[in-house]
Chain A
């Protein structure tokens, strides 16, 4: 019987296991399907990790290494090359591996940290032929950074998510020509610093409110794409076509938390995040099962993943050592221009000084305020100079504000100042 089984050994799983150990759990297991720990960080060889956490710019593998190093001083055990096939509300974890075959492991608590996967061509229905040469940006990144192969020479990127932006620079550095980055929305989905460093610095044009409307092939490989400008209803405007001769299309059109295990276990899901509904301590609707990192909501910065996951690990320890939190839950509602919040529920009685709340806004804001309401009553407000859908927002809600809410729910909204 394990005190805690952590599903997935990326930054989220590593931080959760570490903090659960620090908080006194002894019998902890991380199950990771890959041959190494570190998750998606292993293929992110660019700088830009750890600015908040370590006050220095690390590469993805370096950031992961710091957490893997910390594990060495603990008694946390790790099963690599092992896939979790099923979990359930009895805290059973079904795993399979070449070494040990099929096993059912029993745990007192579980942390889910499976990360996310990329949205594909099929999910967004790009018309055209279906030749080789259309990749999700993350797969191209894997081929390039882990396997040492280039996927193309003349590239068009659809979507301005961070992975696509990073790949625009990476492919350019490797000698490919990146002809354009095409974005459906009127704003970019990625971090501002990536737009500057990965596109502008390399003179790669960014076409906002545009999309790919046709992909053509020659000899089994992409040969041409057509791009159109879109009207307010996101319909292509005839006559605005741009034509590109290229051999490769990279898609950076969103990440989807990988929650097949979560759904199959009957855990309550939030359709806005595609992740589990969680409480202030990252506990899901099934007591003793926690979730953290990209499996809950897609993060831009790994530093926040680590912090969130440490809370989840600590909460798992509290669950095993002290028992379940029983406080009454306050619901967090999305007000104007807020697309989701994590957590979705807060048990105010169990909050120490303050509760962390993460969320995203629906559009770009200049000078603006985030407001927290209890019905009509304004409980708190926070000023921001800039907000964008591509950048996760964070507020700290003090305990006394939570206690002052009367209606069982509070609403978070954004507006221009």
Chain B
């Protein structure tokens, strides 16, 4: 019997696993997909919010501000790309000036550091391409940008290094209370754990209902984006939000840690089956709204669209707490979930303590992680990297300058990827303007070689997403 089973390995499950891995406890993480961070964690705005948005007194307010404060040191320790570039909430009218004022006051109550209201001209001095229509803005210097899947990977990989067991492609289908814990049914057979942590994102209401009386319902809500080429990154130096209003939170424009420009999202409740497809309407909405912040965006320089699904609920609050005996919800973690993740993980440990589980700390848990990134190396570092491992001299992804060395290192990392997109999330190959057109076949080759599988078995992404269908007729090849 495990001490703790964490259900779901998005950033929340991963952060909880990382925190638990510092203790002398046996921990298993169950994830239904073939890789971690396949839910909201890989498709969001990638902002570490300052914390002026949530209502004072809520968990969201407290955990957002606390999580934000923890991010910088964690990202240094775990080698995750993060930059505190600051954010603006732009006001385009006198009415919105009042909203900005209200957000300022909320932020001060929430304990957000350094907030200021700046005039339109001051904003344009700091971010020159912002619309001339902007009358003022809330400036939050503590807001930052991060690479979200890398954040989750850093937590999960370090947890695994510390002895946490991760089971992928393992979907929890039922929970039964047994003596001293739970019997957990999965598509890969049952297991037992004394404590269960529910971090199942959009499915967290279903997992909750397996162990406790119904308490909240997830209302999945889609947000769609454009990713623009690096040549467009210069357009925004800060995170540029619009004022929240009746049609939602507005569309943001922000640089990303990979020096692309991100534009989006809209917010659309999903009624039918949940998928992350883009829609013509959603994309049109994003373009129209973004034009208010910055009239001249060159969509011909877009390199990708994507969409993410928020685990909104019928409650205006994270669902965090002891929901049943030995059962903890980290559920309905909508925005600002990414920003709050490390603080939510501390909360999880506190709740376990409250349930009577208070393991000793490990003496020397691993708390750091290092990655080699060729694209950020100096000439001398590159020379040294190739000397040490010649594969660092072979560039596989031409757009992002990712080498075979990095890809092979990723394939043999603590949570080995089993798909081309899994490699992409770890090494950065295929993220750029040609979207894997060039490196895709080469990565298929490397995966097949390193994992000793046929190229026909190599996946693009999730289960079933095989890239190649069959071998060609041999005679035609001659």
Binding site for B on A (CB under 8 A): 33, 81, 83, 85, 94, 96-102, 104, 117-118, 120-123, 125, 127-132, 136, 138-139, 142-144, 146-153, 173-175, 213-217, 219-221, 236, 247, 260
Is the CB–CB distance between B472 and A144 below 8 Å? yes
Is the CB–CB distance between B226 and A221 below 8 Å? no
Give A258's nearest chain B residue, CB to CB: B398
B370 in the interface (beta carbon within 8 A) = no
B460 in the interface (beta carbon within 8 A) = yes
Is the CB–CB distance between B382 and A102 below 8 Å? yes
Give B456's nearest chain A residue, CB to CB: A149
Listed by A's residue number, 28 A-B pairs whose Cβ atoms lie within 8 Å are A33-B395, A81-B394, A83-B394, A94-B379, A96-B393, A97-B393, A97-B394, A99-B390, A118-B434, A120-B303, A121-B304, A122-B303, A122-B435, A125-B283, A128-B277, A129-B275, A130-B277, A132-B459, A132-B461, A132-B466, A136-B437, A147-B441, A149-B469, A174-B473, A215-B277, A219-B463, A219-B465, A220-B465
List B contacts of A101 (CB < 8 A).
Answer: 382-383, 386-387, 393
Give A100's nearest chain B residue, CB to CB: B393
How far does the alpha carbon of A175 sit from the alpha carbon of B471 in the complex, in Å? Answer: 12
How far does the alpha carbon of A221 sit from the alpha carbon of B477 in the complex, in Å? Answer: 26
User: How many Å from the CB of B141 to the closest CB on chain A?
Assistant: 32
Is the CB–CB distance between B468 and A130 below 8 Å? no
How far does the alpha carbon of A136 sit from the alpha carbon of B304 in the complex, in Å? Answer: 14
Residues of chain B in range 368-427 having any CB-CB distance to chain A below 8 Å: 379, 382-383, 386-387, 390-395, 398-399, 401, 404
B467 in the interface (beta carbon within 8 A) = yes
Is the CB–CB distance between B437 and A174 below 8 Å? no
B278 in the interface (beta carbon within 8 A) = yes
Given contacts A96-B382, A118-B437, A125-B299, contact A132 B465 (CB under 8 A): yes
List A contacts of B456 (CB < 8 A).
Answer: 149
List A contacts of B466 (CB < 8 A).
Answer: 132, 220-221
List A contacts of B463 (CB < 8 A).
Answer: 219-220
Given contacts A96-B395, A98-B386, A100-B393, contact A122 B469 (CB under 8 A): no
How far does the alpha carbon of A347 sit from the alpha carbon of B58 in the complex, in Å? Answer: 72
User: How many Å from the CB of B234 to the closest CB on chain A?
Assistant: 13
Give B420's nearest chain A residue, CB to CB: A132
Given contacts A122-B435, A150-B471, contact A131 B460 (CB under 8 A): yes
Give B275's nearest chain A residue, CB to CB: A129
How far does the alpha carbon of A129 sit from the alpha carbon of B464 in the complex, in Å? Answer: 15
Given contacts A101-B387, A220-B464, contact A149 B470 (CB under 8 A): yes
Residues of chain B in range 446-469 having any CB-CB distance to chain A below 8 Å: 455-456, 459-469
User: How many Å from the CB of B156 to the closest CB on chain A?
Assistant: 22
List B contacts of A215 (CB < 8 A).
Answer: 277
Give B470's nearest chain A residue, CB to CB: A150
List A contacts of B386 (CB < 8 A).
Answer: 96, 98, 101-102
Given contacts A120-B303, A129-B275, A221-B466, contact A175 B459 (CB under 8 A): no
- Interface class of chain A by DSSP: mixed
User: How many Å from the CB of B173 to the closest CB on chain A?
Assistant: 19
How far does the alpha carbon of A123 sit from the alpha carbon of B399 in the complex, in Å? Answer: 15
List A contacts of B276 (CB < 8 A).
Answer: 129-130
- 6 nearest interchain CB pairs? A220-B465, A132-B460, A122-B304, A220-B464, A219-B464, A132-B465
The one of A147, A214, A221 in contact with B455, judged by C-beta atoms closer than 8 angstroms, is A147
List A contacts of B434 (CB < 8 A).
Answer: 117-118, 120
Give A122's nearest chain B residue, CB to CB: B304
How far does the alpha carbon of A169 sit from the alpha carbon of B383 in the complex, in Å? Answer: 46
How far does the alpha carbon of A214 sit from the alpha carbon of B277 in the complex, in Å? Answer: 9
How far does the alpha carbon of A236 sit from the alpha carbon of B477 in the complex, in Å? Answer: 40
How far does the alpha carbon of A213 sit from the alpha carbon of B280 in the complex, in Å? Answer: 8
Given contacts A100-B393, A174-B476, contact A127 B279 (CB under 8 A): yes
Give A216's nearest chain B residue, CB to CB: B277
List B contacts of A236 (CB < 8 A).
Answer: 280
Give B395's nearest chain A residue, CB to CB: A83
Is the CB–CB distance between B455 and A98 below 8 Å? no
B364 in the interface (beta carbon within 8 A) = no
User: How many Å from the CB of B387 to the closest CB on chain A?
Assistant: 6
Given contacts A96-B393, A128-B277, A174-B476, contact A221 B464 (CB under 8 A): yes
Give B421's nearest chain A residue, CB to CB: A132
List B contacts of A136 (CB < 8 A).
Answer: 437
Given contacts A132-B467, A150-B471, A221-B466, contact A122 B302 (CB under 8 A): yes
List A contacts of B226 (CB < 8 A).
Answer: 125
List B contacts of A127 (CB < 8 A).
Answer: 277-280, 282-283, 305
How far does the alpha carbon of A174 sit from the alpha carbon of B477 in the complex, in Å? Answer: 10
How far does the alpha carbon of A260 sit from the alpha carbon of B435 in the complex, in Å? Answer: 15
Give B386's nearest chain A residue, CB to CB: A101
Give B300's nearest chain A residue, CB to CB: A123
Give A118's nearest chain B residue, CB to CB: B437
Given contacts A125-B299, A149-B456, contact A99 B393 (CB under 8 A): yes
List A contacts of B305 (CB < 8 A).
Answer: 122, 125, 127, 130
B193 in the interface (beta carbon within 8 A) = no
B67 in the interface (beta carbon within 8 A) = no
User: How many Å from the CB of A96 to the closest CB on chain B?
Assistant: 5
B239 in the interface (beta carbon within 8 A) = no
The one of B283, B401, B471, B473 in contact with A85, judged by C-beta atoms closer than 8 angstroms, is B401
User: How many Å from the CB of A95 to the closest CB on chain B?
Assistant: 10
Is the CB–CB distance between B306 and A130 below 8 Å? yes
B440 in the interface (beta carbon within 8 A) = yes
Is the CB–CB distance between A98 and B441 below 8 Å? no
How far does the alpha carbon of A219 sit from the alpha carbon of B391 in the complex, in Å? Answer: 35
How far does the alpha carbon of A123 sit from the alpha carbon of B280 in the complex, in Å? Answer: 14
B123 in the interface (beta carbon within 8 A) = no
User: How many Å from the CB of B261 to the closest CB on chain A?
Assistant: 13
How far does the alpha carbon of A121 sit from the alpha carbon of B278 in the complex, in Å? Answer: 12
Give the interface centre of B279, B306, B404, B433 by most chain A CB atoms within 10 Å. B433
List A contacts of B306 (CB < 8 A).
Answer: 130
How far does the alpha carbon of A128 sit from the alpha carbon of B224 in the complex, in Å? Answer: 11
Given contacts A130-B276, A150-B472, A247-B469, contact A123 B303 (CB under 8 A): yes
Contacts beyond the supplied A83-B395, A129-B278, A131-B465: 11 A-B pairs with Cβ under 8 Å: A96-B386, A101-B387, A102-B393, A121-B435, A122-B303, A125-B226, A131-B460, A136-B437, A138-B437, A151-B468, A220-B460
B29 in the interface (beta carbon within 8 A) = no
Is the CB–CB distance between B437 and A98 below 8 Å? no
Give B472's nearest chain A residue, CB to CB: A148
List A contacts of B445 (CB < 8 A).
Answer: 147
Given contacts A122-B302, A127-B280, A213-B280, contact A175 B390 (CB under 8 A): no
